[in-house]
Amino acid sequence: MKITKVEVLHLKTKLKGGHWRPVVCRIHTDAGIYGDGEAALAYGEAQVAAYGIVQNMARLIIGMDPLDTEVIWDKLYRSTFWGQNGGPVINAGISAIDIALWDIKGKYFGVPVYKLLGGKKRENLRAYASQLQFGWGPDIIPACTLEDYAREGKKAVAEGYDCVKYDFFTFAPDGRKYTDEDRLGLRDPKTIRLLTQRVEAVREAIGPDVDLIIENHSYTDALSAIQYGNAIKHLNIFYFEEPTTPTPGLTKLVGDKTGLPIATGERIYTRWQYAEYFKENAIQVIQPDIGTCGGISEVKKVCDMAYVYDVGVQVHACGSPISTAAALQVEAVIPNFVIHEHHTYALSPYNIELCKYDYQPINGKYQVPELPGIGQELSETAFRNCDMTVIQ
């Protein structure tokens, strides 16, 4: 079996005012089997770069055997010059190709990818409702008041979720977005008190038996994160996510000074970078992104490394439903799985329509797709609404 062509798509959506534009690919073979993958840079400012790098990498795999996933991964990593030591754009390109190849491999053997990774360890995957500061539903509704925060938490719990996540430092009470000037360095007592009140309002709304994750998106630095973490740690925080710039030393400092479990990883791109966190015991939960960390091949290696150090895993998947399906295949297998992030964008019809199947948690639990491959594929809607380049 040989790779004959690769279609690279920069999708167009109405989500987030048209700024949510996933970059995906479909790899075709001479056996009539195809696979879909994703470079998960749909948000932020790297979409055009992702669209370009997948095209670059597609040219390197034409004529190769798609079942040789390790051979192809290593070729992309070592022969691109910029590949060694990674980076979000390079590794996102590798991710898109790798996920699509695993999709082909599963279809070729007629099994879900989890079978090829070692077998399903669990039937259901615990999920949490994520980014509730944007509202929990298909529309983005900024949370500004204490009532807003409490209401969205109650909505998620009513749907069966037993864990929720907020970035309480996104919107000011007047609706504007907080700036770097608001978040960095030692903060004034009024700001810390407001953040604490927001966390308290959610804790009271969801009750003592629902886990609460605090998301910081690395918008705070070590100083403000330590202040904030110490102010809220009495509220039974499940973990403190991306509290500062993702470096091992600063991450460990925040964990040591607050005593909170630390999670980070969606902006860490190689197993070698993760190794530094493990050696320093700087992290309790890793979050390798399936679409920017080198795909299924690399994320599985990172998860296995984490297992050696008793570090838990949440495979990050903030992209189209292609990324979600690929993440679920890995999370079903690994022994150190903690929880799956279900992003509020996954509820948007503009994201759902990009793929054939709408997998959603039931009572806060995900079931793993059982179709051959990753169990998901691009829809006709995706192909109608995109910029596309064909490499053959």
Read off the pLDDT of residues 182-226 as tens digits, 9 standing for 90 and up: 999 999 999 999 999 999 999 999 999 999 999 999 999 999 999
> Residue 17's pLDDT band (boundaries 50, 70, 90)?
confident
Average confidence (pLDDT) over 45-67:
96
Strand-pair partners of 25 = 8, 37
Note the Cα 308 to chain centre separation in Å.
22
Q: Please, where are the H alpha helices in the chain?
A: 47-61, 69-79, 88-109, 113-117, 146-158, 180-183, 189-206, 222-232, 248-258, 271-279, 295-308, 321-331, 349-352, 380-384
Is pLDDT of 150 > 90?
A: yes
Q: Which amino acid is at 94?
A: I
Sign of CA dihedral 45, 49, 50, 51: positive
Please spell the DSSP secondary structure of 155-199, one letter per residue: HHHHTT-SEEEE-TTSB-TTSPBP-HHHHSSSPPHHHHHHHHHHH
Average confidence (pLDDT) over 354-375:
97
How confident is the model over 309-329, as pLDDT tens digits?
A: 999 999 999 899 999 999 999
Look at residue 81 in the predicted model and tell me its pLDDT: 87
Tokens of 66: 């798609």
Look at residue 18 in the predicted model and tell me its pLDDT: 81
> Residue 277's pLDDT band (boundaries 50, 70, 90)?
very high
How confident is the model over 254-269, as pLDDT tens digits?
A: 999 999 999 999 999 9
Look at residue 19 in the predicted model and tell me its pLDDT: 85
Task: Please give the model's pTM, rounded to 2 decimal places.
Answer: 0.96
> Residue 117's pLDDT band (boundaries 50, 70, 90)?
very high
